[in-house]
Amino acid sequence: MTAHPRLSINQATIKHASLADALRTTADAGVGAIGLWREPVAEAGLDTAARMLADSGLRMSSLCRGGFFTSKEGPARRAALDENRRAIEETAALAAAGAPGSAAVLVLVAGGLPDGSVDIAGARTRVAEALAELEPEARAAGVTLAIEPLHPMYAADRAVVSTLRQALDLAEPFAPSSVGVVVDTFHIWWDPDVLPQIARAGAAGRIASYQVCDFLTPIPADALLARGMMGDGHVDFGSLTAAVQATGYAGDVEVEIFNAEIWAAEPAEVVARTVEAFERTIAIEPLSTTV
């Protein structure tokens, strides 16, 4: 089976593979792109990781992840923002090393409520403030900060940004080239407002990444691991993908699955399953420029 030309394997889907193995497994399956994570890149060292990516011939579709900047002013917040500055530099370096068509996109997960706080409005204000602080640096580096709304079940402990509408409102003050959004089917499939907001994101040129995976029930004991292979759960990929396609989105489509069973399987087998499920469920058109 040939992989879809716009498929990208997010590294978290084959979480236990080293960077070297992830790159090789992805390329060997005929997949053209990969979404990287900062931790395995740091393990290899940025320069080495960039060289490995270049040697793989793969495009980088995004780097996961920055964000986690909801804490109040103080040393912890300063450290978080500095960490984001490093992530911006890494994104630029890796995108430059990847094959043509690589995206200098840094995925941002906002962060949850600070410990003991119920002030969600305040936490959201601090997300806006962090974007304002980081945006000039992203712009200078040619990096797009991609705000990812996370499923509302993570609002307390992971991301106070819960809907595409909210992410787009946060992005609005900035140029689309420096602040965009992630459209991740797992997080937003349930939203009654999702199709108009995808259209809005596309019209504003703000879809920085389209990520796909399914939503499983029952939600497992570790709620982070409710993700599943496309077709195994409740997501209507047809309508969501058609909405993204209709905007003219021309980037790669990342498959990002956190799932204990998938993590326990052989990476090559997971990638093969992903190639097959993508072909079956994600009816996005190939691009003439992506070959």
Does residue 266 belong to the site contacting its own copies (CB under 8 A)?
no
Among residues 236, 261, 266, 285, which is the contact residue for its own copies, using CB under 8 A?
236
Backbone angles phi, psi at 59, to 5 degrees: -80, 150
Among residues 26, 62, 144, 163, which is the contact residue for its own copies, using CB under 8 A?
163
In this structure, which long-range contacts are made by residues 193-197, counting pairs with CB atoms below 8 Å and at least 24 apart in sequence?
A: 193/163, 193/164, 193/165, 194/164, 194/240, 194/243, 195/239, 195/240, 195/243, 197/163, 197/164, 197/165, 197/168
Tokens (6 digits) for 145: 């900060």
Nearest approach in angstroms of CB 17 to its own copies is 27
Nearer to its own copies, 26 or 162 (CB): 162
Among residues 51, 86, 234, 280, which is the contact residue for its own copies, using CB under 8 A?
234
d(CA 197, CA 209): 14
The CA-to-CA distance between both ends of the chain, in Å, stands at 16
Among residues 47, 72, 140, 190, which is the contact residue for its own copies, using CB under 8 A?
190
d(CA 243, CA 240): 5
d(CA 28, CA 248): 29
Cβ atoms of 188 and 211 closer than 8 Å:
no
Cβ atoms of 181 and 202 closer than 8 Å:
no
Question: Footprint of its own copies on residues 104-143 (CB under 8 A)?
Answer: 113, 118-121, 124
Select the span of 24-32, 81-89, 158-166, 252-260 touching its own copies (CB under 8 A).
Answer: 158-166
Does residue 203 belong to the site contacting its own copies (CB under 8 A)?
no
Among residues 20, 44, 155, 242, which is the contact residue for its own copies, using CB under 8 A?
155
Spatial CB neighbours of 16, under 8 Å, sequence gap ≥ 6: 263, 267
Does residue 218 belong to the site contacting its own copies (CB under 8 A)?
yes
Question: Footprint of its own copies on residues 68-107 (CB under 8 A)?
Answer: none
Nearest approach in angstroms of CB 184 to its own copies is 14
Nearer to its own copies, 30 or 152 (CB): 152
Run of H or E residues at 51: helix 46-56
Nearer to its own copies, 51 or 234 (CB): 234
Cβ atoms of 4 and 278 closer than 8 Å:
yes
Among residues 80, 153, 199, 268, which is the contact residue for its own copies, using CB under 8 A?
153
Nearest approach in angstroms of CB 42 to its own copies is 27
**Amino acid occupying residue 268:** A
**Amino acid occupying residue 46:** L
Alpha carbon 211 to chain centroid, angstroms = 6
Among residues 193, 261, 266, 269, which is the contact residue for its own copies, using CB under 8 A?
193
Among residues 215, 249, 258, 278, which is the contact residue for its own copies, using CB under 8 A?
215
Among residues 1, 74, 100, 221, which is the contact residue for its own copies, using CB under 8 A?
221
Does residue 185 belong to the site contacting its own copies (CB under 8 A)?
no
The footprint of its own copies (CB under 8 A) covers: 113, 118-121, 124, 151-153, 155-157, 160, 162-163, 165-166, 169, 189-193, 215, 217-223, 233-237, 239
